[in-house]
Chains A and B, each alone.
Chain A
Amino acid sequence: MAKTNQLSARKKDERIAAYIFTSPAIVLLIAFLVVPMIYTVYYSVFKYQVMRPNDISFIGLDNYTKLFKDAEFWKALRNTFYFTIIVVPVQCVLALALALLVSKRFKGVAVFRTMYFSPQLTSMVVISVLWTVLYNSNPNTGLINSILVGFGLQPINFLTNAKTAMNAIIFMSAWQGAGYQMMIFLAGLQGIPKEQYEAASVDGANTWQQFWNITIPNLKGTIKYVIMITMIQAMKLFTQPYVMTQGGPKNSTKTMVYYIYTQGFQKGNFGYACSVAAVFFVIVVAMSLILQKITNAD
């Protein structure tokens, strides 16, 4: 009897402790994540301009119908998807290639790993500033163009031409980010049992066959995870175009997050910007859910 009392007293202690332990995090998450999310949707059906805070009026879905006809919005949506669709395979393949290069436990391998990881040790702002200088269209001041000219090629106006600006940002972003995914792939590669390779090489499988028949199937889960985080990250593109091109030239690097910033913070159209944010939210959540479904399917 005394024992059950003690046990139920402990259960009660635990319950009280649980509410003490969880409430700070839950309160903060609700106040600064859930409530703002609800307000994003709420403001999106209002005409709400920063300059006229007292003139807020309910306009139903007008912001959304306006959005539907807004060429700049569609451009931003297209740019965001273009960036994502190109940068994800480029960065993931690069990361996997680097991981394979440094997966063997040779002496000094840590040096090479650190080399490939090193762009991660500087921030995206730093990298963007650096590459704006490297991409300079004058071959006398831009390193990359001076190399192109050195090889007898024509210099390219990387960041000042609407056709090349986004590609230049993609190339740089893949270079900067690959080291991170390389580390994830390395952990995945180390989890593959060595016996599988030994058995395959006894059977006479060459390196290429081993790669397709052992490495890739074993890495399936890791590959899916890496694709997922790279994709979500890519959808949020903002810093690079902000620092390097201000969304230009001709809006060719304006992304969805950039457009939220332009409408909301530069032009002060809060209501309208919230409708962009709500669409952005739906796209990102839908993408994560679809990717999670695919990942969990097998």
Chain B
Amino acid sequence: MKSKKGSAMLGKFLFYFGNTLIGIIFVSPLIWMISASFKPEAKIFANMNSLTTFLPVDASFDNYFEVFRRINMANVFKNTLLYIALILVFDLLVNSICGYALAKFDFKGRKFMLSFIVALMVLPMEAILLPLYIEMSQLGWVNTLRALVIPFIAKCFSIYMFYNFFHDIPDDLIEAAAIDGSSPVRTFFTIVMPISKTVYATVFILDFVAHWNDFMWPFLVMTGEDKRTIQLAVQSFFSTSPVHYSAIMAALVVSAIPMIVMFIFMQKYYVEGIASSGIKG
């Protein structure tokens, strides 16, 4: 009995000790980034061979002031958040009604449509970049919000997530509403939607993250300097002289803040969204 307790203690010790050690090594690049973002340029590289390189010595917000002076952050954030907000509003509406129809309505071509959407999920975006770009330029959409938003509203993966969720909603509920004289469209908006907050939150956070991080498509279609999204601004700041590593680190931190805020508020749905994709798949 005693040895069992002893081994439980040892297990606990190993858990905390091991995780603390590995965890600190794991996040050390990020700690270095954050601490460098507060240091004067000279100090960053002054103590590379000691552990103080991870500490924000002579800390100030000067680097952040430099970032805000050299990048029009208000404009960059506006560009990024506006395009993501527009995508998400349409994304959540268009994909959820499609997923609902596929899950609950009986109509000709339903099976075919479902397998069409599942098949399209394997199609890599990167294979269609060139014709899509030509399409955008023929429509005159290059360097406009339309090029960022409209092609990415419909998403097979989102439709599939909505489909899976709505599929599990009991038919009795919908039946009862129909007997009360509610039309199928009204039933969806007044009965189904309000009880489906979790799936909306999950799709919202997954797509928010995907677009916040997206680099290649905005990079191709938004070439104007005043049209840049956050990732483009960070990337170009990195290669614009004067190259101040201190300011670059501050820019990296600034660009991560909205994601961290999102994560704090939506953590449950984000983690569940990632995890459930594995179980369903």
List which B244-261 residues lie within 8 A (CB) of chain A: 245, 248-249, 252, 255-256, 259-260
Instruction: Decide if A294 is an interface residue (CB 8 Å cutoff).
Output: no
- In the complex the two chains form, what is the Cα distance from A86 to B48 in whole Å? 31
Name B's interface SS.
helix
Inter-chain contact A43/B131, CB cutoff 8 Å: yes
Assuming the contacts A129-B238, A183-B271, asked whether A281 and B123 have C-beta atoms less than 8 A apart, the reply is: yes
Inter-chain contact B124/A122, CB cutoff 8 Å: no
Q: Which 10 A-B pairs have the closest CB atoms?
A: A187-B275, A39-B131, A184-B278, A28-B154, A281-B127, A21-B101, A25-B98, A32-B151, A36-B128, A18-B107
Assuming the contacts A21-B98, A36-B135, asked whether A273 and B130 have C-beta atoms less than 8 A apart, the reply is: yes
A219 CB → nearest B CB, Å: 10
List which B93-136 residues lie within 8 A (CB) of chain A: 94-95, 97-98, 100-102, 105-108, 110, 113, 117, 120, 122-135
Inter-chain contact B49/A149, CB cutoff 8 Å: yes
- In the complex the two chains form, what is the Cα distance from A257 to B45 in whole Å? 35
Inter-chain contact B151/A277, CB cutoff 8 Å: no
Instruction: Decide if A280 is an interface residue (CB 8 Å cutoff).
Output: yes
**Scoring B residues 32 to 70 as 1 if CB is less than 8 Å from chain A, else 0, what string do you get?**
110000000000010011000100000000000000000
Partner of B105, one of A21, A102, A140, A270: A21
- Give the residue name and chain of the A residue nearest to B20 (CB): A112
- In the complex the two chains form, what is the Cα distance from A116 to B21 in whole Å? 12
Inter-chain contact B278/A226, CB cutoff 8 Å: yes
Inter-chain contact A270/B134, CB cutoff 8 Å: yes
- The residue in B126, B256, B263 that gathers the most chain A C-beta atoms within 10 A of its C-beta is B126
B81 CB → nearest A CB, Å: 15
Instruction: Decide if B75 is an interface residue (CB 8 Å cutoff).
Output: no
Can you give 12 A-B contacts (C-beta < 8 A)? A10-B184, A28-B151, A29-B154, A36-B132, A39-B131, A40-B130, A123-B256, A124-B213, A141-B45, A183-B274, A188-B278, A265-B133
Inter-chain contact A238/B216, CB cutoff 8 Å: yes
Range for the number of chain A residues in contact with chain B: 35 or more
| Interface hit among A57-65, A70-78, A162-170, A284-292 | A284-292
Instruction: Decide if A264 is an interface residue (CB 8 Å cutoff).
Output: yes
**Number of residue pairs A-B, CB distance < 8 angstroms:** 254
Instruction: Decide if A121 is an interface residue (CB 8 Å cutoff).
Output: yes
Instruction: Decide if B150 is an interface residue (CB 8 Å cutoff).
Output: yes
Instruction: Decide if B30 is an interface residue (CB 8 Å cutoff).
Output: yes
- In the complex the two chains form, what is the Cα distance from A193 to B153 in whole Å? 40
- In the complex the two chains form, what is the Cα distance from A32 to B130 in whole Å? 12
Contacts of A40 in B (CB 8 A): 127-128, 130-131
Instruction: Decide if B22 is an interface residue (CB 8 Å cutoff).
Output: yes
Name A's interface SS.
helix
Assuming the contacts A17-B183, A25-B94, A123-B212, asked whether A134 and B234 have C-beta atoms less than 8 A apart, the reply is: no
Inter-chain contact B256/A284, CB cutoff 8 Å: no
Partner of B245, one of A133, A149, A288: A133
- In the complex the two chains form, what is the Cα distance from A175 to B29 in whole Å? 10
Instruction: Decide if B185 is an interface residue (CB 8 Å cutoff).
Output: yes
Inter-chain contact B234/A26, CB cutoff 8 Å: no
A174 CB → nearest B CB, Å: 12
Inter-chain contact B184/A17, CB cutoff 8 Å: yes
B186 CB → nearest A CB, Å: 10
List which A122-163 residues lie within 8 A (CB) of chain B: 122-126, 129-134, 139-141, 143, 146, 149-150
- In the complex the two chains form, what is the Cα distance from A288 to B127 in whole Å? 15
B27 CB → nearest A CB, Å: 5
Partner of A130, one of B29, B134, B185, B259: B29
A138 CB → nearest B CB, Å: 9
Contacts of B151 in A (CB 8 A): 28, 31-32
- The residue in A25, A34, A36, A183 that gathers the most chain B C-beta atoms within 10 A of its C-beta is A25
Instruction: Decide if A90 is an interface residue (CB 8 Å cutoff).
Output: no
Contacts of A186 in B (CB 8 A): 275
Instruction: Decide if B265 is an interface residue (CB 8 Å cutoff).
Output: no
Inter-chain contact B215/A124, CB cutoff 8 Å: yes
B148 CB → nearest A CB, Å: 12
Contacts of B231 in A (CB 8 A): 123, 125
Instruction: Decide if A205 is an interface residue (CB 8 Å cutoff).
Output: no
Inter-chain contact A285/B156, CB cutoff 8 Å: no
Contacts of A43 in B (CB 8 A): 130-131
- In the complex the two chains form, what is the Cα distance from A201 to B33 in whole Å? 45
- In the complex the two chains form, what is the Cα distance from A133 to B238 in whole Å? 10
Inter-chain contact A122/B278, CB cutoff 8 Å: no
- Give the residue name and chain of the B residue nearest to A131 (CB): B29
Instruction: Decide if A96 is an interface residue (CB 8 Å cutoff).
Output: no
Inter-chain contact B130/A264, CB cutoff 8 Å: yes
A3 CB → nearest B CB, Å: 11
Inter-chain contact B29/A20, CB cutoff 8 Å: no
Instruction: Decide if A88 is an interface residue (CB 8 Å cutoff).
Output: no
Inter-chain contact A37/B263, CB cutoff 8 Å: no
- In the complex the two chains form, what is the Cα distance from A22 to B95 in whole Å? 8
Inter-chain contact A126/B255, CB cutoff 8 Å: yes
Contacts of A191 in B (CB 8 A): 279
- In the complex the two chains form, what is the Cα distance from A36 to B216 in whole Å? 17
Partner of B185, one of A20, A33, A34, A149: A20
